[in-house]
Structure 1
Amino acid sequence: MSKMVRRLLIAVVAVIVVLGLVAVAGFFWVTSGLGVSKRDPNADTRKEAVYLVMIRDTRAGGNADLLNADASANADVGRTDAMVLARVLKDQSIDLVSIPRDTLVDIPACERSDGTKTEPQRTKINAAYALGAGADGSEEASEAGMRCAERAVTWLTGFSLGGSVVLDSKGVEDVVDQLGGVELCATPEQAAAIPGVPEGCHMVDGQTAFNFSRARKGVDDGSDLARIQRQQQLLKAVIQQVRGLSVPQDVPTLLTMAHDLSGHMLATEGVVTFSNAQRMLSTMKHGSVNTQTIPVNLSSEGGNVVASEEAKAYWRAFSQGTPLPAS
């Protein structure tokens, strides 16, 4: 081997090592403020595993201003305003299936951080996180609350999750603002009912996007199902903005966004990884994004809903790693 070839190989190896170190350093910087919860020993470890993504309705951690609420209500750990089952089939689809917060389920007994246990009860699924988090403060997301929500979803669906992520309201606003806003489309009725939301399709900031996705009373038919449609529109809008980013030019934007988000997020161990990020970004570019809501029927118990027989087809698709039923 000639001296020139050896030098060239050494240079190539050096570049690869440097890039690898930069990537590792970037990853640790991104995740330095990220809360991490211990993984369930029964968690699904397949690449096509399903993850539970939740947004908790709390006034703590700077969320009171965003919610136009009284910060003195900080003691409330917050129920989950949104619960989404998320799955990535690499380069095929990103599947986001919403579970209505008013879905009645049997929530099993959950262990709290102080060692006490909750009583098994039948109630709305959005109460599961708050029940588990009852012994914790509200400033940061609760591991016990996350585990209780995971248990409730597993009891409902019959399959194990790969893990879960809990975001607060401020985290949603920050993501949209870091992306430079997102395009949302509002009907005249929605624009009239939701403060700051313009009629038609417009680029909006994080505050406006959050208001659009959270409003319920006096908007559309006032149901959680109608609100879910607006939440799903926001999810698609965020993904569309991320799709528009380019590598490597926009890598600093992505790194900063992820780092800033970490202070508003708790994730199960193993969720935030290089391989998961790579699969997600690749599928954003080359696959489709499916947003659906589990089929439900109205319940006789206080105007809530229950998962219908048709929902079982979704549970099978998730557990078997196959495409979802057509919506």
Structure 2
Amino acid sequence: MVSGVSVAAIATFDVANSAQDGIVLDIEDGAAEVPQINAIEGGVNVLVVGSDSRVGQDAVFGDSDSLGTLNDVTMLLHISEDHQNASVISFPRDMFVPIPSCTGPDGDTYNAMSRQKINTTLTYGGLACTVLTVEKLTGLDIPYAAEVQFSGVMAMSTAVGGVPVCVAEDIEDVQSDTFLPAGEHTLEGYAALQFLRTRHGVGDGSDLTRINNQQLFMSSLVRQIKSSETLSDWTKVYSLAKAVTSNMSLSTSLNNVDTIVSIALALKDIDLDKVVFAQTPTNLTDGGVLPAQPAFKDMFTALSNDEAIELSGSTGGGTVADPNAPVTAEPEATEAPATDAAPVDPEATTDPSVEPTEEPDDGVTTLSESVTGQTAGDYTCTAGRTLRDQ
């Protein structure tokens, strides 16, 4: 007990000192109140952005001066008010959306645009502009945000001791230098990053099937973090916490150890099958994709109403079911209790004066089949793509 408390105190102090300066978001009701270290009250929306910026990154990723800054990964985490379910929504990088007027971190103002790819928002106005764009697009308030670069992804995958992934067919991608044979792999560091970046080696080679592959990785990561092997290992818990704060650019509302811990506690007891990873439904258009209506609106109406979402579509073309997934035993059938109630006459006329009883609303919205994704409890394998198919 003494050693555990000591490590916790040292980790909290050191993690707090490693946090970077926060990024100011344009939140109408002011900065979110920082809770104590208990599960945060109510629902939570956090936007997580993956930047392709090479600034401060290893030279292996290219010249930092020759490339722009795009949010090629944009994901929204929604935790329900009762902390019983969570959703992670991925926005394709090539989705055309309206971008509102934004003020960048340099103070420059960027005019509103009616149709631009969502991954350009980080270029136009920084993380705050990406948040504002997603808020206008979805109708949700997003008080928390984080931006992660390549090194952050590498650090977090290493902190948990690697992430197990299944590859159904060989992945061969010259562009990202990713070559993985079919089978089971535990990836960390650079290998984990390249697995997430690969596009040509997965599915049909598009960003849409790359998102499927990323959801496979994130599902496995959630299982890894929630496992006893990780949560009971203080070294891994501490390393993960430090990796988050020292390798991410956090909004001012999130740039606090207590806040990060309180959000983590809200996720702690959610069942794996209640953690849903979904990709926004889209239709193809010249040079990219557009939100597919009404399925797109229905998804965010459900989240706005704090309803759990349920998938009815496939996992997408980038993944397939894992044939070696753990099998859950079916509950044993039990005999129905005997009853003395009189049998119901099927020809009896219903009394029109008695109003029918409405079935209770279970607070779950089943999404359109056009929405691809999986839960953290689903075991899937990457649908690899070899060079001969490219």
Distance 2:15 2:275 in 1: 25
- 1:153 matched to 2:138? The reply is no
Q: Which residue of 2 aligns with 1:200?
A: 183
Distance 2:102 2:173 in 1: 42
Deviation at 1:53, TM superposition (A): 0.8
Query: Is this contact kept in 2: 1:110–1:118, CA < 8 A?
Result: yes
Letter in 2 for 1:232: Q
Cα 1:39–1:127 change in 2 (3 A) is closer
Distance 1:150 1:222 in 2: 28
Query: Is this contact kept in 2: 1:58–1:168, CA < 8 A?
Result: yes
Q: Deviations for 1:35-81, whole angstroms, at most 9, x for unmatched residues?
A: 3223543369672122111110121222442xxx32x3346452012
- 1:30 matched to 2:15? The reply is yes
Distance 1:190 1:205 in 2: 17
Deviation at 1:91, TM superposition (A): 5.0
Query: Is this contact kept in 2: 1:50–1:318, CA < 8 A?
Result: no
Query: Is this contact kept in 1: 2:281–2:296, CA < 8 A?
Result: yes
Letter in 2 for 1:93: N
Q: Which residue of 1 aligns with 2:274?
A: 288
Query: Is this contact kept in 1: 2:167–2:183, CA < 8 A?
Result: yes
Letter in 1 for 2:95: T
Letter in 1 for 2:107: G
Query: Is this contact kept in 1: 2:165–2:187, CA < 8 A?
Result: yes
Deviation at 1:317, TM superposition (A): 1.8
Q: Deviations for 1:146-187, whole angstroms, at most 9, x for unmatched residues?
A: 100011111211221132111111111111112111111223
Query: Is this contact kept in 1: 2:24–2:252, CA < 8 A?
Result: yes
How do residues 1-327 of structure 1 correspond to structure 2 at under 5 angstroms? 19=5, 23=8, 26-35=11-20, 36-42=22-28, 47-65=42-60, 69-70=61-62, 72-74=63-65, 76-89=67-80, 91-121=83-113, 122-132=115-125, 145-191=126-172, 195-217=178-200, 219-245=202-228, 249-271=232-254, 273=259, 274-283=261-270, 288-299=274-285, 301-327=286-312
2:151 is paired with a residue of what secondary structure? Answer: helix
Between stretches 221-230 and 205-214, larger displacement belongs to 205-214
Cα 1:263–1:148 change in 2 (3 A) is same
1:42 is paired with a residue of what secondary structure? Answer: coil
Cα 1:183–1:286 change in 2 (3 A) is closer
Q: Which runs of 5+ in 1 are unaligned?
A: 1-14, 133-144
Q: Which residue of 1 aligns with 2:331?
A: none
Letter in 2 for 1:310: A
Under a length normalisation based on structure 2, what TM-score does the superposition of the two structures give? 0.68
Distance 1:114 1:304 in 2: 30
Letter in 1 for 2:287: G
Distance 2:170 2:290 in 1: 25
Distance 1:270 1:22 in 2: 26
Letter in 1 for 2:103: E
Dislocated runs of 4+, deviation >4 Å: 21-25, 43-46, 191-194
Cα 1:307–1:156 change in 2 (3 A) is farther
Deviation at 1:30, TM superposition (A): 1.6
Distance 1:23 1:180 in 2: 19
Letter in 1 for 2:14: W
Distance 2:199 2:92 in 1: 13
Letter in 2 for 1:170: S
Q: Deviations for 1:215-274, whole angstroms, at most 9, x for unmatched residues?
A: 123542121110000111111111111112458741332112221332320122333513
Distance 1:212 1:247 in 2: 22
Query: Whose Rg is larger?
Result: 2
1:185 is paired with a residue of what secondary structure? Answer: strand
Letter in 1 for 2:145: S
Cα 1:203–1:50 change in 2 (3 A) is same
Query: Is this contact kept in 1: 2:24–2:128, CA < 8 A?
Result: no
Under a length normalisation based on structure 1, what TM-score does the superposition of the two structures give? 0.80
Distance 1:173 1:41 in 2: 31
Distance 1:77 1:276 in 2: 32
2:185 is paired with a residue of what secondary structure? Answer: strand
Aligned residues: CA RMSD = 2.8
Cα 1:155–1:249 change in 2 (3 A) is closer
Distance 2:206 2:219 in 1: 21
Letter in 2 for 1:226: T
Aligned length: 293
Larger fraction in helix: 1
Deviation at 1:191, TM superposition (A): 4.7
